[in-house]
């Protein structure tokens, strides 16, 4: 396990700017001693969990600001250590001065996420809950907030821990089958072992199915609208966004650069990107815009390839673009826009995106737009999320679940084979157990913790 830090840390916990109040935090063994130096309260003693009104003073005893201090005695605090929250007037000058005072009185400036890291190291939160703290703070939609809160309250741990416990039990049973073959100690039959491992694998798979949606819920789904000039990309962008953000004209090449805006579809953050129409441009500015747009296409999680439903046929450039999109091997929807003008367009036999879901819409009348939104959620695996799923695992959890899955599949295959030996089976069980242990933080390294907590804000 990682060594516990023993110094006392301090940080400003509220955002920079003028506000009614600003809060600083202090955590560690010297909390009370530091407070005695910097805080002059009405009553002498700082009673834990009570609000104390008084003054924060500098080294010379000169007041910096009025303050309300709440002292928490460890382990009954967020970090599990002695801790304090100091509320002063929300002015960056005051907050900075109070922070400097805390540092001069013996505290060290906290690193990003260090309070939560200490809470984890002191066993107040497991790793999935610590991660949920950061997610709750950065949640972009109400749905993301709800899911982060679920995770903070232990929803994912409650799934993972029993699986890990069951694996530990099976490991012990297999182990005793080696040591006590001749004795009257409970051992386990291959059939039973197989059944129990299959049930674990099933639940790992169910969690893994939420990984794609979990990723989009956390960092948004990037949706690129592409097509040749004038098919109505910008009109569609505006329609999905619900505001006239992009310039729409009948002049080809109106959209010179790509535009990105975020919208919420059923609570899923969608990063919607309007791009410059793809064609062989001669204009220098347009050329650069097209290159930048093609990069957006490459980075997108989902592509809306827009065609003009009222056109006679596809242009050679559209066919070329379709080929490029097909090669990218990512989810695509073909959108036949301007359906209000009647559908004339027939997709040719050699259309590279054959078999891709195709929808007729009109950015002008709004026809088909609701279905399109629905399809976007469906393609992204997010339909269930909008409808109230409870757990969506993160990219980190997904990687570890895939490791556990591979180990479990290995173990099962091995159990079915003629070369079964408990010693080798135990290696796979150990691997699966460790992978699940890393999710909740039972098994972890300083590197992993560093990666997770460095993404937090200071003061959290
Ligand atoms: N009738 C009709 N016209 C549309 C529709 N969508 C866009 N347009 C028109 O097509 C032209 C090009 O639209 P725009 O959104 O700028 O296309 P972009 O170049 O692909 O971004 C404009 O004159 C729009 O008013 C539609 O669904 N129906
Ligand atoms: Mg445009």
Supply the pLDDT for residue 44: 77
Supply the pLDDT for residue 426: 93
Q: Quick check: is 252 in a domain?
A: yes
Same domain, 202 and 223: no
pLDDT band (50, 70, 90) for residue 176: confident
Residue ID of nearest Cα to ligand 1 atom 13: 232
Same domain, 46 and 145: no
Q: Which residue's entry shows tokens 């699966």?
A: 432
Total domains in the chain come to: 3
Same domain, 292 and 224: yes
Same domain, 143 and 202: yes
Supply the pLDDT for residue 268: 85
Q: Of the residues 74, 95, 126, which one is the last residue of a structural domain? A: 126
Residue 4 has pLDDT above 90, yes or no: no
Same domain, 71 and 149: no
Mean pLDDT of 432-448: 91
293 lines ligand 1 (CB under 6 A): no
Supply the pLDDT for residue 252: 83
The mean pLDDT of the chain is: 91
Same domain, 263 and 367: yes
Residue 154 belongs to a domain with what CATH number?
1.20.120.430
Residue ID of nearest Cα to ligand 1 atom 17: 232
Residue 106 has pLDDT above 70, yes or no: yes
Ligand with the closest atom to the CA of 232: 1
Instruction: Tell me whether the omega of the peptide bond preceding residue 75 falls within 30 degrees of 0, making it cis.
Output: yes
pLDDT band (50, 70, 90) for residue 1: very low
Q: Quick check: is 451 in a domain?
A: no
Residue ID of nearest Cα to ligand 1 atom 19: 230
Higher-confidence position of 108 and 209: 108
451 lines ligand 1 (CB under 6 A): no
Residue 250 belongs to a domain with what CATH number?
3.40.50.300
309 lines ligand 1 (CB under 6 A): no
Compute, in degrees rounded to 10, the torsion defined by CA atoms 67, 72, 77, 80: 120
Q: Quick check: is 162 in a domain?
A: yes
Q: Quick check: is 459 in a domain?
A: no
Mean pLDDT of 332-341: 96
- Say what the pTM is: 0.81
Supply the pLDDT for residue 385: 62
Residue 386 has pLDDT above 60, yes or no: no
Least confident of 166-180, 232-246, 317-331, 376-390: 376-390
Residue 248 has pLDDT above 90, yes or no: no
Q: Quick check: is 131 in a domain?
A: no
Higher-confidence position of 430 and 285: 430
Residue 186 has pLDDT above 70, yes or no: no
Residue 217 has pLDDT above 90, yes or no: no
| Residue to substitute in 225, 230, 235 for testing ligand 1 pocket (most ligand atoms within 8 angstroms of CB) | 235
Tens-place pLDDT, residues 263-291:
998 888 899 999 988 888 788 888 888 89
Domain that holds residue 319: 216-386
Same domain, 173 and 317: no
Same domain, 116 and 80: yes
Supply the pLDDT for residue 389: 63
Least confident of 59-73, 151-165, 240-254: 240-254
């Amino acid at each position: 396990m990682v060594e516990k830090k023993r110094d006392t840390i301090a940080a400003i916990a509220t955002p920079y700017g003028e506000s009614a109040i600003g809060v600083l935090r202090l955590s560690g063994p010297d909390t009370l001693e530091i407070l005695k130096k910097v805080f002059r309260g009405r009553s002498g003693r700082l009673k834990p969990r009570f609000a104390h009104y008084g003054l924060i003073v500098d080294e010379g005893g000169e007041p910096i600001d009025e303050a309300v201090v709440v002292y928490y005695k460890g382990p009954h605090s967020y970090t599990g250590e002695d801790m304090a929250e100091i509320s002063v007037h929300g002015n960056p000058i005051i907050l900075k001065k109070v922070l400097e005072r805390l540092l001069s009185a013996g505290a060290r400036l906290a690193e990003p996420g260090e309070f939560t890291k200490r809470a984890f190291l002191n066993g107040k939160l497991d790793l999935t809950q610590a991660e949920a703290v950061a997610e709750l703070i950065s949640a972009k939609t109400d749905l993301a907030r709800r899911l982060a809160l679920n995770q903070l309250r232990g929803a994912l741990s409650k799934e993972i821990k029993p699986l890990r416990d069951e694996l530990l039990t099976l490991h012990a049973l297999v182990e005793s089958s080696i040591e006590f073959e001749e004795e009257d100690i409970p051992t386990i039959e291959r059939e039973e072992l197989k059944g129990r491992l299959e049930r674990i694998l099933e639940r790992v798979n169910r969690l893994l199915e939420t990984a794609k949606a979990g990723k989009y819920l956390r960092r948004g789904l990037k949706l690129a609208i592409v097509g040749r000039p004038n098919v109505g990309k910008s009109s569609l962008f505006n329609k999905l966004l619900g505001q006239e953000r992009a310039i729409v004209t009948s002049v080809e090449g109106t959209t010179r650069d790509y535009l990105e805006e975020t919208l919420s579809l059923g609570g899923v953050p969608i990063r919607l990107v309007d791009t410059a129409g793809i064609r062989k441009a001669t204009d220098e500015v347009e050329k650069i815009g097209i290159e930048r747009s093609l990069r957006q296409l490459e980075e997108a999680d989902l592509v809306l390839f827009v065609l003009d439903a009222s056109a006679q046929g596809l242009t050679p450039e559209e066919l070329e673009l379709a080929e490029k999109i097909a090669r990218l091997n990512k989810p695509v929807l073909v959108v036949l826009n301007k359906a209000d003008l009647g559908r004339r367009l027939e997709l040719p036999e050699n259309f590279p995106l054959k078999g891709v879901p195709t929808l007729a819409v009109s950015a002008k009348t709004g026809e088909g737009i609701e279905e399109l939104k629905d399809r976007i959620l469906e393609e992204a695996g997010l339909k269930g999320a909008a409808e109230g799923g409870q757990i969506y695992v993160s990219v980190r959890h997904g990687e570890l679940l895939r490791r556990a899955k591979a180990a479990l599949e290995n173990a099962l295959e091995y159990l079915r084979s003629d070369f079964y030996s408990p010693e080798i089976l135990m290696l796979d069980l150990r691997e699966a157990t460790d992978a699940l242990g890393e999710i909740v933080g039972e098994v972890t390294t300083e590197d992993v913790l560093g990666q997770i907590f460095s993404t937090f804000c200071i003061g959290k």
